Chain A
């Protein structure tokens, strides 16, 4: 394990109070909602960014908003850091705890409170999994659009924390575009409701700010989300190209021509090989890049759209065209793509990067990415959402080799900087977490960052919510780069302990 990423020095004064804190928390919660045994704490010591872990002080799993509020108030009054947690599938370390923190997990709050078809909304508790929203309305012809690949496990609270997207967000947008309201517990335990069933809400767009704020502004306990009518059908087509450049040009031309498919997924040769070996999806092996383009609608509409898309692909010297003729064939085309992470994990350790670039920069960034990877003597497989420029290079390495691990992290950082330099950003959906925290200064000036941090402070004056994430550590509390890192418990504005 490498340790490029620093953690805040845990507060001694909090850790020394652990027995009292645990006793106090037990008072606030019903039986079975407090975890303090080391053995039971282990599952909470990291998220899907598994190379870093820290044992939390305690974990609470409240059953109601009122309980979340009580715990939050207690922690704020006593300057105890709090880590909001959904299912812990964050890939950037957003839900990793620290030794002096109480994890507040929303997994027991997993009820669908209300489904309202005339208004096409659902009110759900924060611990509901992403997929169960769609499942509960499927029979009636509706679905919830954002579909991260982790949708079986991840929670709507975590989706809001990370503003998650998925393969279909080219057409339907990401979480923020499908969220109408939240109930949220603020730093001091007060409960606010923002938005609701109306399409827009009064005042500043707090909902837009909360979505993607990585558990820094409050703990979401309930959400009102948009439901959409399910399309009649969906059909993917698979294209194989001689080069990544040709595939990239094809993507821009499809979009430029006025067709917005629901998904355009891109895979390069190494990714094709890895996925085909695992899924036997019938992917062509004699091409350099592959696109999966999916359209939706009635049969007549899909026929018409696919005909146009295929015509465009032909202009870019497409080598293979596979139109799915049945649901089974369609499933097979997607199976290869969807198993990308699992299949890669079978052949090597990998880190999944998540940078976003303007569409016109795709080819350039792919080319530079391979130069960076060659420079470190590593391998990379690229699978990503091409329609919105969200790249996911999977950097392969051997986790048992400390030097290679270090190189993988360094290559990842170089690639993210490349994305920013190409006019893009550090993360399109996985979040900053601890992973990209120290790269923030590559994308933002000190003034930009300070503005964001001041907004954060308006929501959490003591900086106790998920404190060591997102913002470079040394920029805390208005300090300058290089200043010593302040102890969270000693932060200004602290109320009496």
Chain B
């Protein structure tokens, strides 16, 4: 029963991400040498968007933002997507939890 419920939830989740995947603006973010490129991302406010995060290494990185409620560990050479829900205009910080000194960036929603 528990397993069945889990599968249903998972299938719904996959279906919803697949449905969303097509008509969303996508922004690219590269993590390299402990830094973000670009460090400031401008996105439209109140719009759902996708962020394609790529870790070009060397070393593993962790894209994290407590205020955006995102946490993503990336082994070197890995690319993964994050979907952001519509945000109010403002500045939102994110950081690389494995390189907190140099890896600081922000999303500016306008």
Chains A and B form a bound pair: no
Chain B: residues with CB nearer than 8 A to chain A? none
Which residues of A pack against B, CB within 8 Å?
none
